[in-house]
Amino acid sequence: MKSKLKASTIEIKDLKKSDINTLFELFQVYYENIEESQFKSDLIDKDKIILLRDHVSKKIKGFSTIKIIEKKILGKTVIGLFSGDTIIDDGYWGQTALTMEFFKNLMKTKMKNLNKEFYWFLISKGFKTYLLLSKNFKTYYPRFNEKTPTRFKTIINDFSAELFGDEYDEEKGLLIHKKKKDYLKGAVAPIGVKELKVPEIKFFSERNPEWERGDELCCIGRVDLGLITKYLSRTFYKMFKNFHIFLLLIVLCSCTQSGDKIFEQEKKNLHSLMIAKNKKMQEKILDEKFSFESLEVAYVQTGKKYYSWFGHVFLRFVGSAKEGKNDLAVSFIGDFYDVNVDTLKAYYGNKYPVLSVIKTFEGFVDEYTVKENRSIYRHSINIGDEKKARIIKGLRNWIVNLEQAGFYGFRRNGCTVLLLRLLNFGFSEIDESKQLFPIEVITYLKEKKIITLSQPEINFHNYKKELENL
């Protein structure tokens, strides 16, 4: 039995020579008419590559290349993420490592370009690639049940001309190579009578009749926050179809009943230290001289630990310090004061008070980006003095009167609900009862036109520079 695949994305320039040779050898297994020089030339032209390695042997068993395009089309800046050559060893077919890693790349690119149109741009040599598009994207073209609208046709044409020049046939929407070009071996993904009963496959075959000789259908799928939310929801649903199993998993992950008295005392001491330190920071918010210029909602991407699987949101008070990195920010978590946390009550509420954690913005960057390698995406909110006063009054009330914020509950009164409740003090149009995942909060606030501008991503590689630029 094959072990699982592990996916990672690296820059093309970081590929080792031995890895490039392995990629070509793998490509040869599934494609005819290959020239090594052309393969390497195409590879070097890309920006990144997703590598799929056997989790045990660490050998490369698949890959997919990525190139980012940015063009001005019909008066608007449009971003495209182009998928190049993609291959997975057939012994590992059916695994989701590539899909998950590719989605992470889509999500990161979208978060960097929230105010721009963004599309997955692919050229399909075989119907399986086309089905990935049709099954996962609400808005995609070309498609069997709708004529491609002019704007989307223009985007396809511009992207295709940018990358392939006169090899792109605009009338047919096909990439027809004039030079010798690789193509899938017939046995890899044949189209038979059974396949032709599927409307999407039939459409692909009719639009690209010479696919077996390497012609490629040029396609796009629109990437928006709705698509990302849908994908995250579906992924978590598949992981936790049985909700009781989900809760059991959380219990097992968070269980700390070791019986070690020394460990328990150390944990209590750490909690007391954290509370004391946070009270000192809260005093800065309570100080009547505290002021700020505007707000930023910060979205923290999902992490590897169970409690970070859904991401996080917090609020930065821009201009509250002389240096941007020292601006105060607030994050809402539960005050889990027990040595052995009651996980069910942490999820549903009714036991643990809400803790308004106050840190400098740099402190949160250190916590999430430096220590956990999670990117932070910032979104600006323009806000007048009256709204600022109501929001800071609400926060102060929560800090002084814990019962006003209520008991923490992961879903019912977690970071997203509390953040929306706080913003509701200033923006009455916000529905404070909404129960959203962190990424959905950004979508919701954009729909309400409360978020006005997206700022550069802060990640593990650029956080020092970005903090200095604040």
Look at the block and give the residue holding tokens 């802060």.
458
Cα 465 from chain centroid (whole Å): 22
According to the model, what pLDDT value does residue 259 have? 47
DSSP string computed for 68-113: EEEEEETTEEEEEEEEEEEEE-GGGTT--HHHHHHHHHHHHHHHHT
pTM: 0.59
Strands 48-54 vs 5-11: parallel, antiparallel or unpaired: antiparallel
According to the model, what pLDDT value does residue 309 have? 77
Task: Specify whether the CB–CB gap between 148 and 141 falls below 8 A.
Answer: yes
Residue 356 vs residues 156, 235, 283, 284, 433: alpha-carbon distances, Å: 48, 30, 12, 13, 19
**Which residues of the chain register pLDDT less than 70?**
1-2, 33, 179-189, 226, 229-264, 306, 339, 342-344
- State which H helix or E strand residue 188 sits in: none
Residue 142 vs residues 146, 159, 222, 354: alpha-carbon distances, Å: 8, 14, 12, 50
Domains and CATH numbers, the chain: 5-223 (3.40.630.30), 259-469 (no CATH)
Give the orientation angle of helix 385-400 with respect to helix 415-424, to 10 degrees: 130
According to the model, what pLDDT value does residue 159 have? 96
pLDDT digits (tens, 9 = 90+) for 142-167: 998 889 999 999 999 999 999 999 99
DSSP code of residue 195: G
In DSSP terms, 464 is beta-bridged to none
Task: Specify whether the CB–CB gap between 335 and 399 falls below 8 A.
Answer: no
Q: Which residues contact 25 (CB under 8 A, 6 or more apart)?
A: none
According to the model, what pLDDT value does residue 28 have? 85
